[in-house]
Structure 1
């Protein structure tokens, strides 16, 4: 298939539920659990447990209707503001927040969080806490100077971006441009937590093929440093999943903070 015909996440209508079923479900045939669930959960739990990243506002700029990367963060921020580019993603996420019938099941992710934290008895409390923190889900336009126009967001203490920069960017310049936009939403010395795929050129959702921007660790580091970030931590997890659904080579987890 010609890469020029691949769909773009923020320009075309990705089926949020199929995406979650393919890559993040608890189904027996879902083989991305080690890469997409356990690796980021382990590192997020460790990162927030250190106690250095906390505050009033956490912004989430992530792919689809993901939730699992916010279970640790909800303990350290008063409010989580989730930004989404598509109505379908918002509806899928709100279905889970409001505990509606047919919502995607994230219980396996919540259990993994509390098991790592050694707080298995707090499983129900963890779900309640993350839901109560995620009361602000806002539609955004990545191309606007103010992405949430007409809403003006207060500067965030921290941003988490999971599997987004590497699917909205068509090339290196695009990646840096979007990174600069995200950085503009942070307070001075605010923290940026980035989770993404390395070496990916495509991923499938149902029968549709979506674009991926192939980058390596060196490029991601230089992009962050070029936007005045200091990298505090970086972990690389080589791919374990065997599947033709996507061709990423590894998953990257980076924690950084703005110099000023």
Structure 2
């Protein structure tokens, strides 16, 4: 029997609530916790506490309605703009920001962020600090050269992106085009921070098996170099789970400076 075609993140209905509940939940035995929660949050804390990535405006363009990676950034950036391709992801992110009933719960991640800063008793403060720093949650479209068209945004000092390029890019050329469109929103001298899943062929959300582009560490590094980025920091963690929901072999966290 033929397998059904893989769903495409930005072309089919993507259930960001099911995605969050599967890969980012607060259960003690959650098998992806070391990879999807601790690995990115620990690295973001390291980068932003080191002081070499700084500025006024940070943009985030990530998969789903993820916000946990942004807790460390709000100690540095006072204006955070979140871009979303998926209308439901925009709604869920706004619902969390406005503390509306039924919002996805992220308190377990704000608690980890506070712990990283040595402020484990200030979880609520950390949560409010991030919500206050987020000035806009707006839609974007990678079919446009300016992905925020018709909205014109100030160039960012830093752009963060978790796994989005992986799931919206159909092939390596498409990845390069999408990466270039993100880079156009970044100031020269600004930093791009990417999280990528390496050597992956699919991931599962609810009943759906979804597309993810297969590539390795050297592909991402070469793509950044071709667009004039200099890599400042890179960390790779081998998969620490045993699940049939997703088949990535490793995760990569990479920080690069735009030189032109």
Superposition TM-score, scaled by structure 2 size: 0.97
Evaluate the alpha carbon distance shift between residue 240 and residue 76 of structure 1 in structure 2; reply closer, same or farther with a 3 A threshold: same
Evaluate the alpha carbon distance shift between residue 2 and residue 151 of structure 1 in structure 2; reply closer, same or farther with a 3 A threshold: farther
Residue 129 of structure 2: SS of its match in structure 1? Answer: helix
What is the root-mean-square deviation in Å for CA atoms of aligned residues? 1.3
Deviations 1:24-76 (A, max 9, x none): 01124531100000011111001000111111110101000001010000111
Evaluate the alpha carbon distance shift between residue 189 and residue 4 of structure 1 in structure 2; reply closer, same or farther with a 3 A threshold: farther
| Paired position in structure 1 for 2:82 | 82
Deviation at residue 3 of structure 1 after TM alignment: 7.4
Q: For residues 119-134 of structure 1, what are the structure 2 equivalents within 5 Å? A: 119-134=119-134
Structure 2: gaps of 5 or more residues: none
| Paired position in structure 1 for 2:141 | 141
| Paired position in structure 2 for 1:180 | 180
Q: For residues 89-238 of structure 1, what are the structure 2 equivalents within 5 Å? A: 89-238=89-238
Count residues with an aligned counterpart.
260
Deviation at residue 95 of structure 1 after TM alignment: 1.1
Deviations 1:115-174 (A, max 9, x none): 122111322211011001113001011111121111111110000000111111111111
Distance 1:160 1:152 in 2: 18
Distance 2:219 2:179 in 1: 13
Deviation at residue 80 of structure 1 after TM alignment: 0.6
* Contact 1:85–1:139 (8 Å) recurs in 2: yes
Distance 1:153 1:80 in 2: 12
Residue 55 of structure 1: SS of its match in structure 2? Answer: coil
Residue 77 of structure 1: SS of its match in structure 2? Answer: coil
Evaluate the alpha carbon distance shift between residue 259 and residue 2 of structure 1 in structure 2; reply closer, same or farther with a 3 A threshold: farther
Residue 5 of structure 1: SS of its match in structure 2? Answer: coil
Distance 2:12 2:55 in 1: 34
Q: For residues 16-35 of structure 1, what are the structure 2 equivalents within 5 Å? A: 16-35=16-35
Evaluate the alpha carbon distance shift between residue 3 and residue 67 of structure 1 in structure 2; reply closer, same or farther with a 3 A threshold: farther
* Contact 1:3–1:211 (8 Å) recurs in 2: no
Deviation at residue 5 of structure 1 after TM alignment: 1.2
Deviation at residue 209 of structure 1 after TM alignment: 1.1
* Contact 1:79–1:133 (8 Å) recurs in 2: yes
Deviation at residue 110 of structure 1 after TM alignment: 0.9
Deviations 1:171-200 (A, max 9, x none): 111111111111111001110000110011
Superposition TM-score, scaled by structure 1 size: 0.97
Residue 82 of structure 1: SS of its match in structure 2? Answer: strand
